[in-house]
Amino acid sequence: MPWLTLRLQVTTPLFNGGADVGDTDGTGVRVPSVRGAMRWWFRALAGGLVGPDLELLWRLERKVFGGATTGDKGVPSPIRLRIPEQPSLTLANARHDFLPGPQATSRERAEHNGYWIVYLLGQGLGNLRECSLRRPYVAPGEEFDLKIDVGGGPHAALALASLWLTCAYGGVGSRIRRGFGGLRIIGSSGALPEPWTPQSILTPGLEHYTDLRHLWPKDPIVACMKPLVSLIESERGRADPDAWRRPPPFPVLSRKYTTAGLSGDAPFTTWDSLLSHAGEQLRLFRGSEEHPDVRYTPRVKTPEWEGTVHGDSNRFPVGALGLPVVYKDGYVVNAWGDKEHRRASPVWLRPVGSPGDLRLFSFAFLGDFLPGPNAPEVRLRRRGGPARPLHINTEDVRTLAQIWIDQLAKPEWEWFPPDSRPAP
């Protein structure tokens, strides 16, 4: 099959791994990052049908994307990707419309909407105190071509399904769970493998997300289920939409083990106004206990600060939103096994729609929080001192995710009130 060209548009700042100030090639979107995102969403799609048979899932992924084997040679990927011309890269020290200027005072920075965007970016990409960026990015509105040679067979349709899922629900690069790295497929040229059409390959508008309460194949992915089932059966497997009898150890598309919802009230006009509001709401959700004596705004802390870190409780529900959690005075809560482990947040934030008519689509994978027979242990440490074990369970993930999504779906999505989530 000849090369297919898809036109992609960046919707939120895209911070691609390896793209840094010192780069001489100006690369903003890397092919391995796109391929990696496609593989991730393929596992989520296929994993919803094959259940705990991880060896079968590995064979399916290798069939579609290639991969290493135990022998001397790997399986070459039938999928080839090219980006013939890179979109422009915005350097970290450039002027950013969504951040305060370099002459802003500390109060002006703290009160600027961009403060909450940097909050969502985290310490690796932003400096919250200075309200500035540490890494370059591809700006929203930039467009580029992605050329794809998908070959033939059922894997061709599934490769495009993986890319469609990446653009509809995920993203590329860093902090995609917090709304960054968004992409839209806005056009195509060249022959598309069945069942894809020039219209179905496009990233959908708001109407697609309105009634979504779970992440489970919906048009146009439904049309790709037949090729997926055929591929599973060709590998001597069996497709079962109810394959998971307990929370899965990795993200899968599932009616039972995902939850999703769209923000209510009036739509947002720009991506930065949406993510600024989402960042502030997330902070108020995490820190849901009022502390009028603190010297920053909003004047809130997590209930776990007093109840667990400085109290007798061993419960740490806020950790279900991601680990590590770092507090002042050197306190850190993280997962430990043979080494220190991170646990990415199961809750995703995605701006969807088009400029002038944007809403926040949020979803969560309700899998096992720390899976495995030798699961790491959650511990509280202070500057490398003795550790105290804490407890987070899988039900905490479901409870916090559902409270968050139910709240944002209300007609007036405003500040989370104090005590809006369970305390330890």
pTM of the model: 0.94
pLDDT in tens, 52-85: 999 999 999 999 998 765 555 567 778 899 999 9
Average pLDDT over residues 401-417: 83
Residue 244 has pLDDT above 90, yes or no: yes
Residue 113 has pLDDT above 70, yes or no: yes
> How far apart are alpha carbons 173 and 181 in whole angstroms?
6
Place of tokens 């074990």: 389
pLDDT in tens, 150-167: 877 778 999 999 999 999
CB atoms within 10 A of CB 170: 20
Residue 216 DSSP SS3:
coil
> How far apart are alpha carbons 79 and 151 in whole angstroms?
7
Residue 320: closest CA among 381, 249, 424, 400: 400
- Asked if residue 283 lies in contact with residue 122, where contact means CB atoms within 8 angstroms, the answer is no
51-65, 159-173, 376-390, 406-420: which range is least confident on average? 406-420
Average pLDDT over residues 362-380: 91
Specify which of 11-15, 295-299, 391-395 reaches the highest per-range mean pLDDT: 11-15
21-30, 36-45, 123-132: which range is least confident on average? 21-30
The values of phi and psi at residue 131, to 5°, are 55, 50
Residue 39 has pLDDT above 90, yes or no: yes
Percentage of the chain lying above the pLDDT 90 cut: 73
Q: In DSSP terms, which residues pair with 147 in a beta bridge?
A: 5, 82
Helix 225-234 vs helix 31-50: crossing angle, to nearest 10: 80
